[in-house]
Structure 1
Amino acid sequence: MTKHVHGGNIYTYKNCLDFSANCNPLGTPESVKQAVRDSLEYMKDYPQVGYAPLKKAIAEYEGVASESVICGNGAAELVFSLCQAVKPKKALIPVPTFAEYEQALTSCGCEVEHVLLREEEGFSLQDSFINWLHRDLDMVFLCNPNNPTGISIDREFLFRVLRVCREMDILLVVDECFLDFMEEPGRYTLKAQLSRYHNLFLLKAFTKRYAMAGIRLGYGITENTELLDAMTQVTQPWNISVMAQAAGIAALKETAYVEEGRQMVFREAKYLKEELQRLGMEVFPSEANYIFFHGPENLFEICVEQGVLIRDCSNYSGLRKGYYRVAVRTHEENQELIRAMRDGTTKAAVAHAEVLKQEEQA
């Protein structure tokens, strides 16, 4: 049985500064916390079926029709309900990428084909990906920017993939959960193509944009009404709690907060990349709110010992031991990460040298 391990495991590694989960470095907006507190009055009541006010707020935020929106208990639930609704026989995903795509596909008995993103090509999606598309495919999953690498997909190339998928009757699912932290999100989103391409489904989440991982709220957008109806049929009733609905509506009003978080990510990502390189890490050109790099194989353990939790990416398909991902946090927190790595690796090097010395003397 495959074991799926994610970031944010603060319950196992207590009292650690968490760089393994990629959320807005500003933390959850106070208005969202207040909305959750206010909603507790309705804890005794069932959530509103169809969550019309939340869908309306999302639709206004995204500039789409409410009928094009579906919500889930996090974006991950939507991945599973998509697969349950479509029942694909064959699907294609590049690797490494978010593990839930394959988990959801295999749970439906789907055969999954992989396209390996190669380190020597910067883990970027190559033009040759088009050649992997064929008429036997039912679904293709793409993550833009990709998780865990943070590498984006060229917009014109995405258009090409979308067109070929439509010609071959393939559903293209594009995960845009980390798009908000890119320099120009509007340049990369495929939202404007939804009316022309009914084979397109976009995934979004409140988790990263508003630091709401514990609330569990995500949404999808498509103009394929048959697909939305099928997803609704396989989704459990009351899947969006009273608290999540209130939190989502409040969060969507926080436009200044989102921009402030984006600007902080720009500044701090530059700092982290430079400092990690000074420590001898091989840093890849991530464009998201996290940094992907290669370092010592025992770096995860070194950091935990120093009170810092990073994401060991060795369990991602297509990666091996020594690949890591760290979230971009506040400057003070990022300084603590660098200190922990510097002190920890120095301490480990000294200890290793002592072991070698003792072995020579034996």
Structure 2
Amino acid sequence: MDRQLHGGDTYGHPSALDFSSNTSPLGLPESVQKALAGSVGDWDGYPDPLCRDLTAAIAAADGVPAAWVHCGNGAADLIFRVAQALKPRRALTLAPTFSEYEYALAAAGCETAFHPLHEKDNFALTDTILGKLSPALDLVMLCNPNNPTGQPVDGELLRRILKKCADCKITLLVDECFVPFLDEPEAHTLKGELAAHKNLIVLRAFTKLYAMAGLRLGYLLCANPETIEAVCACEPPWNVSLPAQTAGIAALADGEYVSRVREVVKAERKYLAGELQKLGLRVLGSRANYLFFKCNACRDLDALLEQRGILIRPCGNFRGLDERFYRAAVKTHAQNERLVEALTEILKGA
């Protein structure tokens, strides 16, 4: 069951400062907290199984028809349900990338191929992937920007991938959960391509941007009604709780919170990257709300930080990486300073 531990064991270390989970450094929005508190009296009833109000709010926020929106119990839930719904025989994803793509595909009985990303390219996706796309594939899963590297796919390359997938009749799922943290998010989303590409699925979640990991809420966008119907057929009833629906509607109305998060992440990402580089750590990619870095000085950096009450994400269990690679979330300045102090103490003594 170790595969379910994506970051540090926060329940086993409840007092630790957690940099392993890359959610908003500002925590759950106050507007969401108020909405949840005000809705407690309704929690004795079943949630809307169709998520009608939430779906309408998402459609308005993303500028798409409500029929293209389908909500789920977090992004991971939707990844597994897409795999079960489409029943692909052969799929392609990246290495390294978010491990749940591989697990979801395996659970659906799918044979999965992996396109390697290389350190010489700073783990950026290159056009070599185009040679892997053929009618032999049924599904491609991409994370943009990628996790754990924080590298976005070049916009022109992403559209070339989409076109070739369409030509080869391959469904393309693009996980955009970290797109809002990029400096120019609208330049990296494929939402505008949905109408022209029925083979495209865009995945989003409230987990990262709104720090709603415990509430579990994600959604997919797709203009193909057959795909939406197939995904619906693979879910249990009342899959999105009433608190999650309430929280999602409130979050989408809080544009001020999103602006503040993006400002904090941009400033603190620059600060933290600079401090890590001063310590001799190699920072790669890292354009989302987390830093991906390599430490050659010691191979047990996560354990040494844990002894000091700090959790980061060791990346040695990602395909294509080893124990020298780590990921750390961008948090508040005071928290980032604490991480820098601990790293300085460790690396000076290494």
TM-score by length of structure 2 reads 0.97
Unpaired runs of 5+ residues, structure 2, are: none
Give the structure 2 partner of residue 261 of structure 1: 261
Deviation digits for residues 77-111 of structure 1 (CA, Å, limit 9, x no counterpart) = 00011011000000000110000001000001100
Q: Distance in 1 between matches of 2:5 and 2:65?
A: 36
Q: CA deviation at 1:3?
A: 2.9
Aligned residue number for residue 342 of structure 2: 340
SS of 1:202's partner is: strand
Query: Aligned with 1:208: secondary structure?
Result: coil
Which consecutive unaligned segments of at least 5 residues does structure 1 have? Answer: 350-362
Question: For residues 85 and 169 of structure 1, what CA distance do their matches in structure 2 show?
Answer: 16
C-alpha separation between the residues in 2 aligned to 1:217 and 1:73?
A: 5
Amino acid at match of 2:64: V
Q: Counterparts of 1:2 and 1:160 in 2: how far apart (Å)?
A: 37
Q: Which residue of 1 aligns with 2:328?
A: 326
| In structure 2, distance between residues paired with 1:125 and 1:28 | 32
Distance 1:84 1:196 in 2: 25
Provide the rounded CA distance (Å) in 2 between the counterparts of 1:146 and 1:345: 28
Ranges of 4+ aligned residues in structure 1 off by more than 6 Å:
none
CA deviation vs aligned residue, 1:228-277 (integer Å, no higher than 9, x gap): 00100111110100100000000001111111111111111111111001
Identity rate of aligned residues, in percent?
46
1:99 and 1:316 in contact (8 A); partners too: yes
**Do the aligned partners of 2:123 and 2:285 also contact (CA within 8 Å) in 1?**
no
Match of 1:162 in 2: 162
Query: Conserved in 2, the CA contact under 8 Å of 1:171 and 1:200?
Result: yes
Question: Larger radius of gyration, structure 1 or 2?
Answer: 1
> Matched residue of 1:3: which SS?
helix
Secondary structure of the residue aligned to 2:37 is helix
Greater shift, 38-47 or 205-214, is seen at 38-47
**Contact preservation (8 Å) 1:207, 1:216:** yes
CA–CA distance in 1 between the matches of 2:50 and 2:219? Answer: 13
CA RMSD, 1 decimal: 1.1
Q: CA deviation at 1:8?
A: 5.2
- Structure-2 residue corresponding to 1:108: 108
- Could you say if the C-alpha distance between residues 36 and 8 of structure 1 is closer, same or farther in structure 2, counting changes exceeding 3 Å? farther
Q: How many residue pairs are counted as aligned between the two chains?
A: 348
Contact 1:307–1:340 (8 Å) recurs in 2: no
Distance verdict in 2 for CA 1:8–1:30, change over 3 Å: farther
Check the 8 A contact 1:155/1:188 in 2, yes or no. yes
Does structure 1 retain, via aligned residues, the 8 Å contact 2:93–2:112? yes
2:124–2:285 contact (8 Å) kept in structure 1? no
Q: How does 1:35-54 map to 2 (within 5 A)?
A: 35-54=35-54
Q: Please give the alpha-carbon distance, in whole angstroms, between the structure 2 residues aligned to 1:41 and 1:212.
A: 21
Q: Identify the residue that residue 81 of structure 2 maps to in structure 1.
A: 81
Superposition deviation, residue 2 in structure 1: 7.2
Tell me which residue corresponds to 2:62: 62
